[in-house]
Structure 1
Amino acid sequence: MTSPASPLPMPFDEAFFADPHPVYARLRAAGPVHRVATPDGAPVWLVLREADVRAGLTDERLSVNKARSRNGYRGFALPPALDANLLNIDRADHLRLRRLVSQAFTPRRVEELRARIRLAAGQLADGLAERAAAGGSVDLVAAYANPLPLAVIGDLLDVPEGSRSAFSSWVGAMFDPAYPGQVAECVGHIHRFLLDLVAARRAAPGTDLLSAMIAARDEGDRLSEEELVSLAFLILFAGSENTQHVISGGLLTLLRHPRQLAEVRADPGLLEAAVEEILRHAPPNQWAIRRFPTEDVEIAGVRIPAGDTVMLGIAAAGRDPERHPEPDVFDIHRADKQHLALGHGLHYCLGAPLARLETRIALETLLGRFARIELAAAPRELRRRASFRSHALKELPLLLG
């Protein structure tokens, strides 16, 4: 086993944020595991090969509990009522919460949203058409990709429509590195908003997911107030944020591969396979939730001390040539559709069926509504979030007709 090394410098520049995959490929070719410094200076271990990432996602020695950190991990400073969610707890507590939440977050409930998703997508597409008719380009991110998942998850939790855009702006601001000082303020807004939402639903239950979570029981067990608020935060945040980026990034990927876009237009039945290839080829999350070894562990011959921060490379795994032949080629006919974009094992995404359904309907609606969809800017000019953790478009200007 090799010993811990000094953190390697990472090229966190515009080229990396535009396309991080060449950097991942160079690192992966040089070795399966590297110790690097993130943009905020924190040392982390990057795991880049698919087999190691897959194994790491099920290795119970790799804890998601931030209390296990021993090297000064600096993530978002969330209050306990937002932090006690499925992303931050290990097996015993995770299974307990997942068992309770699963009573409310059923496939049937997701399927019941199909008509609502189609209606919301159609209404937003009509708005795009009106803007396009007025001349000039339209921004798909602001006018379609962002509001659609927020409308869906807002309906699922029965969030008042007037509050949804405010929640989305708070979440977006949390991730804007240009304003690091606003994170605490935005977290405070989100915390108060969710406390009020849970209190209102407890006082007047409805047929929504949050009411079902409040009512959920398992042999006398129930969700605590902190757990309810924290899970509501996770569902609203992950259920809107991630799907927003899959929709916008997915359409951009299709536009950059016109032959396969034409195939999908000719046969919408290919959209299901296209969404899976989009998730492999261009996932919005670059890394699984950070992990902390509970003891010294060996990954691919590298010794990682207990308490260090480990980042399992979801995006790098999707382009690993040892797992995916011609990994940089976007191919909707790829026979092997297995990927790690939505997780694996215990922490597999609870909302994966909803994310897939929303993305399929969102793309199908756009391709059915507009015969002409073209980029209104060169790909190199597109603005992306300057983030180590996600690969997300800030805007996607299009010409539609």
Structure 2
Amino acid sequence: MSQSTELNLASSVFKANPYPAFARLRAYDPIHQLTSFGQQRTWLITRYAEAELVLRDERFVKDRQHVFSSARLPHVASSPPSFTDLMDMSIVDFDPPDHTRLRSLVNPFFTPRQMERWRNRAQEVVDELIDSVETKRSMDLIEDFAAILPLRIILEILGVPAEDGPMLHEWTRVVADSLGDPVASQQIGGVLQDFYAYLLALIEDKRKMSDGTLISRLIHAEAEDNQISAREVVTMTFLLITAGHDTADNLIGNGMLALLTHPEQLALLKANPGLLKSAVEELLRYRSPFMLATMRWASEDVELGGVLIQRGDSVLVSPASANRDGEVFAEPDTLNIARLENAHIAFGKGIHYCLGAPLARLEGQVAISTLLRRLPNLRLQVEPEALEWRPGSLIQGLRHLPVVF
């Protein structure tokens, strides 16, 4: 029987190398009970088989209101809209039929075919960013490159002014880095309020002057077809801005760190550009952009890996751990950019599979291939052990990645 123990998933120190701890959990305690608060039990799923099942199984729901009575959710009624809507009412917090309805509105914009239309634009941004630092012979690969590329692209897709990018990037970082930290989570109210007010004003401007971008299309779906509510337009925009650039940011940063610390794999990719797609998939597996998937709740009693998950228990799946499961991946702790069988779950599974996965893949491919081509002598400026990982239990990414070339 799994025992409740302390495991600080939000700690930047833990995130620097969580893999030994995850390996022990997979071997001895794959359905691990995290420290409970009150009557709420939370289970951490670290083994691939159970992780994939939870991500696909409709008995594990995203909307707490399908599990608890309103009396069990007092904070929802008392919280301001800026917190309730942005943190609890996005598409990732809904189950069918609402999830199906909302996803159908944005899916057409993020198909692999649609995303290919942005490849040239992504290449332009990448070249511009490298041009701006090339003569300096050094850069922070996160702040000067990996964080900027996906943010520019998603803002253009949505129709958000580019000059607002730095502010939106900072707000996104503050919110993401607070997840899983009770103290930090209590201190983000002001940021969420500012973010919420900004989105309301932005959407109001789009109502007055439609420009054919994604936000305008969502507003049209609200006004003409009644397929989405005004509140849902706000929360959808919030999700697309935040997840739309933090995912690829971490993919590029984590991926380049992995290559720079595995020179034989770096040399292999330079010599064989045709391995680019498999390399990106392996980088996603090896150091996943997300350490945890978003929370799910058991809508009924479910036996999982010999452990009874009771109705109302919350469940956290760790893609970072599942993607190192030796039962699924040969030599799971070895970076192998030529790996052929790579059924990683870095982007999730099932109906909540990451909407922006095709875009993140494209941005990762363009960014990494261009960095290797244009900056052939790229190398770390500090020892890997000196790098600091961002806090927060959800994402897995670096604060900074100083490089020279």
CA–CA separation in structure 1 for the residues paired with 2:318 and 2:146: 25
Q: 1:221: Cα distance to partner?
A: 4.2
Partner of 1:31: 29
Q: What is the Cα deviation at residue 15 of structure 1?
A: 4.6
Question: Is contact 2:3-2:32 (8 Å) kept?
Answer: no
Tell whether 2:25 aligns with 1:52.
no
Q: Give the equivalent residue in structure 2 for 1:154.
A: 155
Give 1:180 shift: 4.8
Bigger shift: 68-77 or 10-19?
A: 68-77
- Amino acid in structure 1 at the alignment position of 2:220: A
Name the structure 2 match of 1:349. Answer: 354
SS, match of residue 91 in structure 1:
coil
Aligned to 2:243: 238
1:46 aligned counterpart, secondary structure = strand
Tell me if the contact between 2:278 and 2:340 (Cα under 8 Å) persists in the aligned partners: no
- Percent of aligned pairs sharing the same letter: 35
| Structure 2 unaligned regions, length at least 5 | none
String of CA shifts for 1:78-134, please: whole Å, max 9, x gaps.
Answer: 3326632220001211111111222444444322211111111111111221332xx
Q: CA deviation at 1:175?
A: 3.4
Q: Secondary structure of the residue that 2:115 maps to in structure 1?
A: helix
> One-letter code of the match for 1:162?
E
Compared CA separation, residues 48 and 86, structure 1 to 2 (3 A) = same
Distance 2:74 2:27 in 1: 27
Q: Hey, what does 2:328 align to over in structure 1? A: 323
Structure 2 residue matching 1:395: 3-state secondary structure: coil
1:257 and 2:255 correspond: no
**Which residue matches 1:184?**
189
Q: Which amino acid in 2 is paired with 1:328?
A: D
Does the Cα contact within 8 Å between 1:64 and 1:292 map onto a contact in 2? yes
Q: How do 1:9-158 residues align onto structure 2 when only pairs under 5 Å count?
A: 9-10=6-7, 15-37=13-35, 43-68=41-66, 78-80=83-85, 83-132=88-137, 137-158=138-159
Q: 1:104 to 1:217 in 2, by over 3 A?
A: farther
Contact 1:157–1:208 (Cα < 8 Å) also in 2: yes
Distance 2:400 2:190 in 1: 25
- Offset of 1:189 from its aligned partner? 1.2
Q: Which residue of 2 aligns with 1:8?
A: 5
Displacement of 1:367 after TM fit? 0.9
Is contact 1:105–1:209 with CA below 8 Å preserved after alignment? no
Question: 1:143-196, CA deviations, whole angstroms, 9 ceiling, x for partnerless residues?
Answer: 001111111101111211221110110111223458555411111111111111
Aligned equivalents of 2:27, 2:223: Cα separation in 1: 48
Give me the whole-angstrom Cα distance separating, in 2, the residues matched to 1:218 and 1:170. 29
Maintained 8 Å contact 1:82/1:191: no
Cα pair 2:42 2:316 within 8 Å, conserved: yes
Displacement of 1:218 in angstroms is 12
Structure 1 stretches lacking a partner, 5+ long: none
Q: Are the structure 2 counterparts of residues 205 and 152 from structure 1 closer, same or farther at C-alpha, using a change threshold of 3 Å?
A: same
Report SS of the residue matched to 1:78: helix
CA deviation vs aligned residue, 1:304-326 (integer Å, no higher than 9, x gap): 11111100121111001111111
| Alignment TM-score, normalising by the size of structure 2 | 0.90
1:375 paired with 2:380, answer yes
Sort the Cα spacing of 1:237 and 1:228 in 2 relative to 1 into closer, same or farther, 3 A: same
- The alpha carbon displacement at 1:371 in A equals 1.6
Letter in 2 for 1:243: A
Q: Is the 8 A contact 1:7 1:43 kept in 2?
A: no
Distance 1:249 1:224, change over 3 A: same
Q: Secondary structure at the match of 1:8?
A: coil
Q: How far off is 1:389 after superposition?
A: 2.5
**Distance of 2:220 and 2:93 partners within structure 1:** 23
Q: Distance in 1 between matches of 2:244 and 2:199?
A: 15
Partner Cα distance (1:273, 1:163) in 2: 34
1:275 is aligned to 280
RMSD between aligned alpha carbons? 2.7
Is the Cα–Cα contact under 8 Å of residues 173 and 182 in structure 1 kept in the other structure?
A: no
Letter in 2 for 1:147: I
Q: Secondary structure at the match of 1:306?
A: coil
Contact 2:59 2:299 in 1 (8 A): yes
TM-score w.r.t. the length of structure 1 is: 0.91
Which deviates more, 219-228 or 291-300?
A: 219-228
Which residue, 392, 395, 398 being the options, matches 2:400? 395
- For 2:122 and 2:36, locate their aligned partners in 1 and report how far apart those are by CA, in whole Å: 37
Which stretch has the larger CA shift, 255-264 or 13-22? 13-22
The 8 Å contact of residues 118 and 361 in structure 1, kept in 2 or not, is answered as yes
* CA shift for structure 1 position 341: 0.6
The offset of 1:388, in angstroms, is 2.7
Structure 1 residues 6, 300: closer, same or farther in 2, change over 3 A? closer
1:303-352 CA deviation, whole Å, 9 max, x = no partner? 01111110012111100111111110111111212111111111111111
Partner residue in 2 for 1:215: 220
Q: Secondary structure at the match of 1:155?
A: helix
